[in-house]
Amino acid sequence: MATMRAVLIKDGQGPVENLYIGETEKPAPKEGQVLVKIVAFGLNRMDLSQREGRYPVPPGASAILGVEFSGHVEQVGLGVSKWSQGDEVFGLAAGVSEAATKYAQVSDGLTVAYQVIVKYGELNEGDDVLVHAGASGVGVAAIQIARTYGARTVTATASSNEKLDWLLSIPNGATHVANYKSEDFSERVNEVTNGKGVDIVVDFVGRTHWEKNINSLAFDGRMILLSFLSGSEVPSVNLTPILYKRLKIQGSTLRSRSLQYQCELVNSVTFQDIVAKITGSEGNGPIRTYIHEVVYPWTNIQEAHKEMAENNNRGKIVCMVS
């Protein structure tokens, strides 16, 4: 049996100290798949939740941590004509290791941001948008996509003034900000929109933000829920505003969606247009990738998890495989 190294969890779940690099079975590409040699991978909140036993792995997916990666094609399965050995690729996998089976050329933060702003958020030119966790990988991508495709204002929330200043400073960054720890972001939103409210809310937080999110939404507003970092149960909910403001509330996942759905998503005309607009942080594209100031060797995976758990990152936390 061929083996490879991967980020594994002692006892299947537990504290950050349970993470280690170990040997596991190496996959072989099936028909229509390629095997990718991983060079770098991005950290996501689902990785922390999965490690803690709070994120059930979708049926058929690997229990290996990690979904977002870049690397080069190592082996090509039957029926694959678009990719060749040695091609540089980025994308999503069921689990990140030294090697991973790859289906489509996508990035988790970018794809989720496209899904919530364009597909579910139904962004129209002139819309007002509220993005929580603005300094996260998904948050930064969502802000830039909204700005690029015609949003009138994008208000971002974060936990520190340092993050908020950064979001205001980057090209196509937030137009307005709110520190959710020290101010009521719904009041800020209503000030920015002259009382109208926002057309789209992108929320990762859940319980503590629920009422203020509803207050922030305009008539016919759309709220997309990505996670519940503060909890998933709201003790008391007044349904009246949902009815009279004609609100649409949408849950959003990606990893558990079918291969067909993911392929259709990334092959859409708008998504491919977004990909064509991306450059690095020092480039001149309207949508740029921002990497957290510390890039971790994957042998320091415990430190990377701690950094995300403490909400210290601005942009994507990336680990390099050596």
pLDDT in tens, 114-157: 999 999 999 999 999 999 999 998 999 999 999 999 999 999 99
Angstrom distances, CA of residue 148 to CA of 107, 110, 171, 178, 211: 18, 13, 10, 21, 29
Residue 103: per-residue pLDDT = 38
**Cα–Cα dist 130/57, whole Å:** 29
Residue 107: per-residue pLDDT = 64
150: phi > 0 → left, psi -120 to 50 → alpha, else beta; which?
left
- Strand, coil or helix: what is 229? coil
Residue 207: per-residue pLDDT = 96
- Strand, coil or helix: what is 260? helix
- Can you list the residues of the chain whose pLDDT is less than 70? 94-107
- Strand, coil or helix: what is 228? coil
DSSP 84-140: -TT-EEEEE-SS-BSEEEE-SB--HHHHHHHIIIIIIT---TT-EEEESSTTSHHHH
The reported pTM is: 0.88
Instruction: Write down the H helix ranges in the chain.
Output: 45-51, 108-114, 137-148, 161-169, 185-192, 210-216, 240-244, 259-266, 269-276, 301-309
Strand partners, 223: 201, 249
Residue 106: per-residue pLDDT = 42
How many Cβ atoms are within 10 Å of 124's Cβ, its own excluded? Answer: 12
Contact in structure between 94 and 61 (CB atoms under 8 Å): yes
> Which residues have a Cβ under 8 Å from the Cβ of 216 and sit 6 or more positions away?
130, 185, 186, 189, 190, 197, 198, 201
